[in-house]
Structure 1
Amino acid sequence: MIFDANALCRAGELLDHRGSAPVRLSAGLWLACLSHGRCGVQGGREGPLLLEPGCLLLTSEALVLCPTLPCRLAGVRFAGALADQVAAALDGTVAEDGGRCPGAADALALLASGRAAPSPSFCFDLLCRAARLDEAPPRVAPLAAQAMAAIRKNYASLYGVDELAAALGVSKGHLVRSFKAAAGITPGRYLTSVRVEAAKQLLRSTDAPLDLVASLAGFSCANYLCRVFKAETGCTPAAWRAAPGPGDGAPALPMDEIYV
């Protein structure tokens, strides 16, 4: 029996929208990200929604996206058996901070703009990440929750805990103590883990060079990425990229070239 990757997960339709015109999403499993502007969502069972910059939208419903400010939207409609399973399990439409899925917004932008080819492996990895959006996040102390959200949203550009504490209006010491009491780790350690996770997703889903992966994940250079990645995962970025991806034991699928 020959394994058909396209039957499992593929891109059925791509969205790359700029401007103020309404956008109609056909019925099917869509993942979209709003990178700029603001956008209303109409037609879902939950009623109207408003997307802010950085939001991810996961839906299996036919929707109309109505920009209230000029928008940049990137998205993909998944097709295949896995997409059908996720759509069947999804309860309506989910709109969440894109920081809950590190790397998803970057992957969508690459895919929609044509800088990454919509290979089955790229779509499979992206869909596996997106499927976690409807999981309820654990409750944590307000300051720690704000810090986590800020880290997930700004991990690529955040210089460190000092900048994070200043942005939240608290001292570094107070932030570190509160964060560790709530999460069991320091905010610096959490920032590193988010960056490593973003790097893992980019390595698995694209053929981008290490310098670009490092930049997108928030590391200063490829050498620093390699050192931290090895310390965190026990393997090099190259070894992680070459290893079979997560899933049901199917063979690793070839990656398409990414143009930057």
Structure 2
Amino acid sequence: MIFDPTTCCACAAVQELQGEAPLTLSGEGLWAGVLSSGQCVLECPGSQSAAGSSGDFLLGFGTFTLRPVTPCHLLCVRLTGLAVQQFLAGLPQPRFADGASCPSAAELLARVCGAGNADDAASAAAPYTLLCALVHGDEESRRLSPLVARAVEAIRDNYMALYGVEELSAQLGVSKCHLVRVFSSEMGMPPGRFLTSVRIEAAKLLLAEREYSLEMIAGLCGFSGANYLCRVFKRETGLSPAAWRETAAHKAVVQKLPARNNEIYV
């Protein structure tokens, strides 16, 4: 085999933090995880404490403790291998990173955890794919301009009812062209695509619940109808909603909740 992803990066352990009890992590390699709800503080001997909130992802090594500030949920994996060693060489201390720098982290983490003992090529490569996606997480958190930070917050808070970039730019008091230019520069994607990605993540969560029809999911996630949801979902994920639902049924993994999750389930 020319390239063996398990030599570069493999999943050695899975841990879950849920509720208010602290969790201490240790062991060789990199702990990578997603804080899907709540707020948490990372405490590491000899280092300054780091705070994380819903949507952030964890990058940790050595021995450290996660101490919930509010009831929270965090799912993480310990990655080991040659590529992990190189990754850790550039990570000065355990920390939480801005989830916006890796919007696919929750999905990739679920893929790693769901792979289990599967021996197919895609499952073997899942940890390495996750590590590659986290490559920018070892940098200092990006400082978004006030405009982009407001745009991101508005999308996450109102993705169900937001008609599009025109409405968003009007809410923010700027022209559509200016918003697209600044947002794309800082986020690496235009605001319309970011809105779509947030809606797709919300749809995935609802697809995991059998009682929700495609038409209902479309309405709850801001799509105009079930047919449009199917087209966009297939384009973005490579799977139809029905096929993704069947795959997700075999994975008991809690993924990152988008903002306003309480309203989704009303």
Please give the TM-score of this superposition, normalised by the length of structure 2.
Answer: 0.63
Q: Is 1:224 equivalent to 2:223 in the alignment?
A: no
For residue 65 of structure 2, what is the aligned residue in structure 1?
64
Give the residue type in structure 2 aligned to 1:19.
G
Preserved CA contact (<8 Å) 2:159 2:195: no
| Aligned-partner Cα distance in 1 for 2:127–2:64 | 21
In structure 2, the partner of 1:161 is 164
Match of 2:107 in 1: 106
Within-5 A mapping of 1:39-54: 39-43=40-44, 45-54=46-55
**Using the alignment, how far apart are the partners of 1:158 and 1:79 within structure 2?**
42
| Cα offset, 1:45, TM superposition | 4.8
The match for 1:133 is 137
**In 2, distance between residues paired with 1:74 and 1:126?**
14
* Superposed displacement of residue 10, structure 1: 0.9
2:150 maps to which of 146, 149, 164: 146
**1:77–1:102 CA distance, 2 compared to 1 (3 A):** same
Name stretches of at least 5 consecutive residues in structure 1 with no aligned partner.
Answer: 200-210, 230-235, 239-256
Aligned-partner SS, 1:95: strand
SS at match of 2:134: helix
Question: Runs of 4 or more off by more than 6 Å in structure 1?
Answer: 196-199
| Identity within the alignment, % | 27
Pairing of 1:170-189 with structure 2 (within 5 A)? 171=171, 174=174, 176-180=176-180, 182-183=182-183, 189=190
Q: Distance in 1 between matches of 2:5 and 2:184?
A: 40
How high is the TM-score relative to the length of structure 1? 0.64
For 1:91, the equivalent position in structure 2 comes to: 92
Q: Secondary structure at the match of 1:171?
A: helix
CA 1:12/1:155 → structure 2, altered by over 3 Å: closer, same or farther?
farther
Q: Partner amino acid for 2:193?
A: T
| Shift, 1:98, TM fit | 1.3
Quote how far apart the aligned CAs of 1:39 are. Answer: 1.4
Which amino acid counterpart does residue 164 of structure 2 have in structure 1?
A: V
Deviation at 1:158, TM superposition (A): 6.8
How many Å separate the matches in 2 of 1:39 and 1:172? 31
Where do 5+ consecutive residues of structure 2 fail to align?
Answer: 118-122, 201-213, 240-246, 252-266
The answer to whether residue 24 in structure 2 is matched with residue 24 in structure 1 is: yes
Aligned CA RMSD, in angstroms, stands at 4.0
Q: Letter of the 1:74 partner, please give it.
A: L
Shift of the 68–103 alpha-carbon distance from structure 1 to 2, 3 Å rule, reads: same
Deviation at 1:90, TM superposition (A): 1.4
In structure 2, the CA distance between the partners of 1:62 and 1:184, relative to structure 1 (3 Å rule), is closer
Deviation track 1:81-135 (CA, whole Å, cap 9, x = no partner) reads: 11111112212123222122112123334644xx443733111111111121123
Give the aligned partner of residue 7 of structure 1: 7
